[in-house]
Amino acid sequence: MTEIKKSIHGEWSSRFAFILAATGSAVGLGNIWKFPYITGENGGGAFVLVYLLCVALIGIPIMIAETLMGRRGRQSPINTMQSLARDAGADESWHYLGWIGVITGFLILSYYSVIAGWAMSYVFKSLSGSFSGEGVDHIAKLFDAFIASPMQLIFWHSLFMMATMDVVVRGVQGGLEKAVRFLMPSLFALLLVMVGYAMSTDAYQQGLDFMFNPDFSKIDGHSILTAMGHAFFTLSLGMGAIMVYGSYLPKHVSIAKTSFIVAGADTAVALLAGIAIFPIVFANNLEPSSGPGLIFQTLPIAFGQMTGGLIFGTLFFILLVFAALSSSISLIEPAVAWLVENHNVSRNKACTWAGLATWLLGLGTVFSFNLWSDFKLFDRTVFDLLDYLTANLLLPIGGFFVAVFAGWIMLRRHSEEELEMQYDAGYWLWRFLVRYVSPAAVFLVFLNVVGVLSV
């Protein structure tokens, strides 16, 4: 009889709670802030198609793998990997894979918090009427002046980190679950409103053409790597978040079904964000490849011109902050869980230590937009370097080894028991994808990056 382990941190109250939490982890700034601007930078429709293929063939199989590994281990990613490796009779050095996830989540949150702080600031800018009736030039100057002020960015970065820690310190059901129970459906509804507005612009069809008419001449190895990295980023893979959330999942919840629901919801939000934003970009003669400031220079124009824009703009940025918050709590949770398990400290102390370390590293991102804007490592600012290192390198590396471990190292009967579909064709398909397709795809992209192959 299989031993049923319990997490010392608690469990989700239901399957629905896990879906909300995992969707909240996946849906965030990656969908609404990052997806539109990297789509713009990589040529539009062809990039979207590559991204969707990455989600289907790489993202979903690895999400299933991370979740089942987390539920089997019932601990932080580091301790889970050590436990699963021991069960499989494998080298316990596999626990370093857990470390990769925890460190990656920590690095991502350090700059994610800064960008989320921008969204918090824009709540008040919208509420004060700063966008009302204003055009492209004014909105651009407003954004440029904001990111040029280190003190403003530090204030909002600090406020967001405190909000994140306030949720995490309350635990699984008391904090994490309550925080996501109503936020994600609300964000989805507001995005639909924004799509409705985009449909009323003259550039709606141009926006759709940009997103869904592929021009494969725009695709190269870098674009494919970016699409794959974003599939990991937006699904919260390779950063320990899904693994630790899986450790809180009740025993008889279907991992495969919930993974498909989470991935579907996450992808829908990303596509809706692009459908809402690109018509506004083209209607106002803006450049779709304008980079990280895209959402902060396009949506405010729409809010400034539309009827009820002050209300909708304020609500949108509030919900954007909440979406960011639902992701940030999952990024710090693996580190907090490990500190509680391994250093015999209270959850309160663990949150304080992890939060303070993240905040300090985040100052590098703050200064990369102003005081250190000319300081570059490997021809990248601190923010650009952290973004590239995590999304394009650490996340795919982590995902690659998750696939290898789940497909080749982990005891087969353990994965069969967790997925509860031993004799189902779905199990054979998942096992084929996670053993061969997902790791091979990641590996081939890396060969392209180092110049062995060319795409």
**What does the pLDDT look like over 57-80, one tens digit per residue?**
889 999 999 999 999 999 999 999
| pLDDT (tens digit per residue) in 318-347 | 878 877 888 888 899 899 999 999 998 998
What would the mean pLDDT of 222-232 be, rounded to a whole number?
81
CA–CA separation, 36 vs 19, rounded Å? 24
Q: Which of 229 and 422 is assigned the larger pLDDT?
A: 229
Query: 136 exposed, middle or buried (CB, 10 Å; 0-12, 13-18, 19+)?
Result: middle
Q: Is the pLDDT reported for residue 140 higher than 80? A: yes
What domains sit in the chain, N to C, each tagged with a CATH number? 15-449 (1.10.4160)
Q: What is the pLDDT of residue 320?
A: 82
Please give the pLDDT value at position 172: 60
Give the H/E segment covering residue 339.
helix 309-343
pTM for the model stands at: 0.87
Q: Give the pLDDT band of residue 450 (cuts 50, 70, 90).
A: low
Mean pLDDT of 115-123: 94
31 with 326: CB under 8 angstroms? Answer: no
Contacts made by residues 91-98, CB under 8 angstroms, sequence distance 24+: 94/405, 94/409, 97/398, 97/401, 97/402, 97/405, 98/240, 98/243, 98/334
Task: Give the pLDDT confidence of 35-44 residue by residue, as tens digits.
Answer: 887 888 888 8
What does the pLDDT average to over 85-95? Answer: 93
Report which of 99, 29, 109 is spatially closest to residue 365, judged by C-alpha positions. 109
Length of the chain counted residue by residue: 455
Count of other CB atoms within 10 angstroms of residue 8: 11
Q: pLDDT averaged over the chain?
A: 85
Least confident range of 2-11, 144-153, 221-230, 240-249: 2-11
